[in-house]
Amino acid sequence: MNDTILFDSYTSPIPELRRDVQIIPVKDSGKSLLYFHDVMGYTTPNFALDIQTETVLSLINGRTSVKQISDMSNGNISQDELLEFVQLLDQHRVLNTKHFNTFSNKIEKEFERKDIRKSVLDGQSYPADPKQIQQYLAELNLQSLDKTPDSLKALYAPHIDLRVGEEQYKMAFSALKGLEPKRVVILATSHYAGYFPDLYEEKPFIGSTKTYNLPHRSFQSDQIFLNQLNEGSDGFTLMDRAHRIEHSIEMHLFLISEIWKHSFEIVPILVGSIDEIMYNPSGELSDKIEQFTQKLKALDEPDTFYLISGDLSHVGKKFGDQVHANKMKADIEQIDKQFLKASVQNKPEKLLSGISDHYDSSRICGFPPLYIFMNAFPDLSGEQLNYHWWDEESTESAVSFGSIIYRGN
């Protein structure tokens, strides 16, 4: 029995199209289509419509009804045809309707109940077949560089697509060979916490007690450590739906699976937006950061290693700028240089001051997790390993990224 209730009115306003779904013109077998890209994964996979539907889609704005749109067409589209089209959209979950909200809540609650977090990058950023993964990692040759692991405590590295940052990843993660930590704390950018403001607006630190499953290896979480972080914490939560499709932790796990073959536990923590401290550096958020970083420091042990997952600037038309990224390159590289300098010096106040000067105009996604780490461990010394600027010509945009290792004094 199908209990799905779809939108069914000729006169009520049609719910608007979901704003988090990108509608992208594509070509397929000579046909012009509109592809609905849903980063959250709620929409039916590969859902697309003929490009001729674009005009009708533009009229679905949360204010117009089926009858009104039919009238606008001068009767060329009947109300019954329009309602059938609207119900098609609703069925595939691209409208902000009761059906969509019921479905999405079910997906998230089912994820939260599970003990395992499945990989989301397999078959995309890396192969899905375990044998192909081993071949891929062997060809990546992460073990090739001769690095000295003495006193290494942390690595700040990107989470950009492997095909883009292959050489930078090789240099960064090769620096870790020879280490055998028993616990690996991962502080990573959260790209999706903002989709759940009711959960995370007051909780920027998002842990997960799940086992992270990759096709070729599983990583058990250190539940004792995570529960200690959660005990009496104002800014930390183990409500972990932000982990479901997040790639920033998984990318690092994939790479260390080749570097570290021994057994260890992980502490996966996503760090949401902390933009508020740019405007109010001594407010409630600052207190939460202080509480969390002090607790993280107190729980540290000699055999704990830290991975900080974050890229640098995101600029160009894809990210909302009005000009081609290359026209901004000189200025953005200066911003990145200042950011990396403060990070290497391990001066969190200088990092915050520098990014506040331009209100993070270049969208440095690695700022939140790195700032948190630096506040927890201000006595470590940093060394920059690399820096790279990647052009995405098709969108006139660019992403920069770099790596830093931190050592104990």
Predicted local confidence at residue 4, as pLDDT: 75
Q: Give the residue from 74, 106, 138 where a domain finishes.
A: 106
Mean pLDDT of 170-190: 95
Q: Annotate 88-115 with b (16+ C-beta within 10 A) or e (fewer).
A: ebbbbbbbbbebbeeebeeebeebeeee
Summarised one tens digit per residue, pLDDT across range 15-25 is: 999 999 999 99
Predicted local confidence at residue 1, as pLDDT: 37
Q: Give the residue from 85, 106, 127 where a domain finishes.
A: 106
163: containing domain: 115-407
One domain, residues 272 and 237:
yes
pLDDT at 146 over 70: no
One domain, residues 191 and 340:
yes
One domain, residues 82 and 133:
no
Asked if the structure places residue 212 within a domain, the reply is yes
One domain, residues 338 and 289:
yes
One domain, residues 259 and 157:
yes
Confidence of residue 38 (pLDDT cuts 50, 70, 90): very high
Confidence of residue 55 (pLDDT cuts 50, 70, 90): very high
Beta bridge partners of 383: 405
DSSP of 28-95? ETTEEEEEEEETTS-SPTT-EEEGGGHHHHHH-SSS-BHHHHHHHTTTSS-HHHHHHHHHHHHHTT-B
Number of domains in the chain: 2
Q: What's the CATH number where 317 sits?
A: 3.40.830.10
One domain, residues 82 and 127:
no
Q: At what angle do helices 284-298 and 223-230 cross, to 10 degrees?
A: 140
Q: Give the residue from 82, 106, 130 where a domain finishes.
A: 106
Is-contact 190 365, C-beta < 8 A? no
Asked if the structure places residue 9 within a domain, the reply is no
**162 Cβ contact list (under 8 Å, min separation 6):** 125, 126, 140, 169, 251, 254
Asked if the structure places residue 357 within a domain, the reply is yes
One domain, residues 314 and 211:
yes
Summarised one tens digit per residue, pLDDT across range 210-239 is: 999 999 999 999 999 999 999 988 899 999
Asked if the structure places residue 83 within a domain, the reply is yes
pTM, full prediction: 0.93
The alpha carbons of the chain give a radius of gyration, in whole angstroms, of 23
Predicted local confidence at residue 144, as pLDDT: 64
One domain, residues 307 and 364:
yes
Give the separation between CA 127 and CA 53, rounded to whole angstroms.
Answer: 36
One domain, residues 126 and 84:
no
One domain, residues 77 and 125:
no
DSSP of 165-205? HHHHHHHHHHTTTT---SEEEEEEE-SSGGG-HHHHTT--E
**111 Cβ contact list (under 8 Å, min separation 6):** 117, 240, 241, 244
One domain, residues 33 and 139:
no
One domain, residues 93 and 234:
no
Summarised one tens digit per residue, pLDDT across range 325-375 is: 999 999 999 999 999 999 999 999 999 999 999 999 999 999 999 999 999
Burial of 254 (0-12, 13-18, 19+ CB in 10 A): buried
Asked if the structure places residue 27 within a domain, the reply is yes
Closest of 375, 355, 405, 384 to residue 176, by C-alpha: 405
Asked if the structure places residue 153 within a domain, the reply is yes
Predicted local confidence at residue 74, as pLDDT: 84
